[in-house]
Every structure is written in C-alpha cells, then in structure tokens.
Structure 1
Amino acid sequence: MRSRFSAYATAHYHYILDTYTKEKQQALSVEELASSAQGAKWFALKVHPTLAASSVDSTVNSLVNKPVNNSISNSVYANTNVEAADAEQNSKPNLNDNKTVVEFTAYYFENKSMYQLHETSNFIVEDGKWRYHDGELHEDCGKIKYGRNLPCVCGSNKKFKQCCALKNR
C-alpha cells in the first residue's frame, strides 16, 4: 500500500500498473493512470488498522463503516481508539492468507485545494506478491477544508500552514 502511494507521489505509473492484479492490468494502461493523476500532488498517507480478509466472513462492502467484533476493539471500522501496538499488528497482512483488506486515507492537493481519498482496498497474492485488486471509496472522499493551525496530516508535528500547506500550494 505504501509503495503504491509513493509511486503516485513520484509519478511512477509503470510501478502502479505492475502492482494491480493481472485481471485489472488488462483494462488499464500507464497513460490512463498518468492522466487520472495529472495535477495531483500527493503528500500524506494514513493506513488505518484493519483485519485480514480471510479472518472476516463477509465482503468488503459489509465492512466499510460497520463494526466488526474482535478481541481488540468493539469496532475497528468505527472511529474508536485502538492501542498503538494493536493497531500496528492489525495493519499488517497475514502472509499465510492470499488476500487482505487495507483501509487508508491519502491526502493530495489539486488546483490549490486539498482533497482526501479514503478507501478500503482489496489486495490479493499473485506470483508471491501482494497486488491491488479493487477498493471501495468512503463517503468522506473529496475536497476538504483543513484548519491551517491544526497539526499537519503528514505527522511532522508542525502546524499545517507551516508544513504541507506551504510546500504544496
């Protein structure tokens, strides 16, 4: 997931295409990926705690914004606090599974406005490598207003106006 974000941020569209499943690669091209990302300046990524897909007996559609019972928290997908160690453990896919679910929020600037992309993604192992298959966008995607005096979303501990807002406008 993080490598795909970095590839978007640095415009390495060949890599992005290579990280799709073979089924999805057939319907995409490097040119289409470049065109869809044109003008976007990606600057921050937050990977949310999730569960491996094989440990959930339902589809991703039933997971998005709905509670999942587990021993860590009553609701991983709701906005609850999960201890850092548990969150880190749950954000890593189980390498014994052949699929996993990753929820993330990526931030970018386009035309001097800030946007967020909040998605729950499905990854599948093909040829021993994790590949992006598809994802479901959350309702909070799109243009956002972020307070200039709030801590920057990149995690720098600086005010937003003194960090990414300054660098990306």
Structure 2
Amino acid sequence: MKKTPVTTGCHCGQPLPYADCCGPYHHGALPASAEQLMRSRYSAFVLQLEPYLLQSWASDTRPASLDLSADDGVKWLGLQVLAATGGAEGDDTGTVEFVARYKVGGRAYRLHETSRFRREDGAWRYIDGDLHEG
C-alpha cells in the first residue's frame, strides 16, 4: 500500500514540500547530486516506491526485485545527513553518510550507513553502503 506524501516539509528532512523536493525525482527528474539521490531514495522508502528504488540502483548491484510490503509495520521517523563527499557536478562518484531513524512495533531503531554512488549514463545511482555499528 502506497502512503500519501506529506504537504509540509519533505520526508527527507528538507523544509520544501514533497512536491518541490523529492516528488519531481520520483516522477522522472534526475537528482543533480548523490545527496539528492540519497534523500529521494529515503523518501521512496517512506512511500514504498519500489520502482523508483530499483531504477535508482546501479545496474551491477541492483536486486532483481524489491518487496517493501513486509515493511508495512515500519514507521520512518527522520533522516539526518552527516557528511557528503564528492557526488556533485563534475564528479563521477560520491558518498553520503546518514542516519535514518524508524520504529517497528513501538521500538525505535537507527540505520547509520555510508552509501556509495556513481553516475551511470548521466544519472546518479546507488551502488551499496557500509553499515556503522552502534
């Protein structure tokens, strides 16, 4: 079941409304940086947009399919970008370190990851990431 986008502040933590932030990327616009792609992917997880997540994944690490319906009990609470390296105009690779907070069954969790990105055919794509413990 797809969730309805919020109307104030984007899911990704930016102050812009979803329609002016991650929404355009989910409808075909290309993120200009690795950080924008990472933020749009976070919003796509919140909204369970499996096609966007697959399309924005690097071709050599992309899974054959995703099934986010098992995540129906997940409530995403917020995203904090800690650092971004490269991943801008003129770069072909970049990394973004972030913490995503969420709840499952009333218990709070955090996902701390450094994600790797690269340009493929002119578009930023998620390659993979390293999880941080703690």
Per-residue CA deviations over 1:32-81 (Å, capped at 9, x if unaligned) read: xx1563421112000112322xxxxxxxxxxxxxxxxxxxxxxxxxxxxx
SS at match of 1:136: strand
Q: Name 2:94's counterpart in structure 1.
A: 100
Q: Which has the larger radius of gyration?
A: 1
1:39 aligns with 2:73: yes
| Distance change >3 Å, CA 130–CA 36, structure 1 → 2 | farther
Count of residue pairs brought into register by the alignment: 97
* 1:99/1:123 contact within 8 Å kept: yes
The residue correspondences of 1:1-169 to structure 2 (distance < 5 A) are 1-25=38-62, 27-31=63-67, 34-35=68-69, 37-52=71-86, 93-140=87-134
* RMSD of equivalent CA atoms: 1.5
The normalised TM-score by structure 2 is 0.67
Task: Give the TM-score normalised by the residue count of structure 1.
Answer: 0.54
Shift of the alpha carbon at 1:14? 1.2
Normalized per residue, the structure richer in helix is 1
Secondary structure of the structure 2 residue equivalent to 1:8? helix
For residues 108-154 of structure 1, what are the alpha-carbon distances to aligned partners after superposition, in whole Å with 9 as ceiling and x for unaligned? Answer: 111111110000000011111111000000012xxxxxxxxxxxxxx
Structure 1: state its 5+ residue gaps.
53-92, 141-169
CA distance in 2, matches of 1:96, 1:12: 29
Consecutive unaligned residues of structure 2, counting only runs of 5 or more, are: 1-37
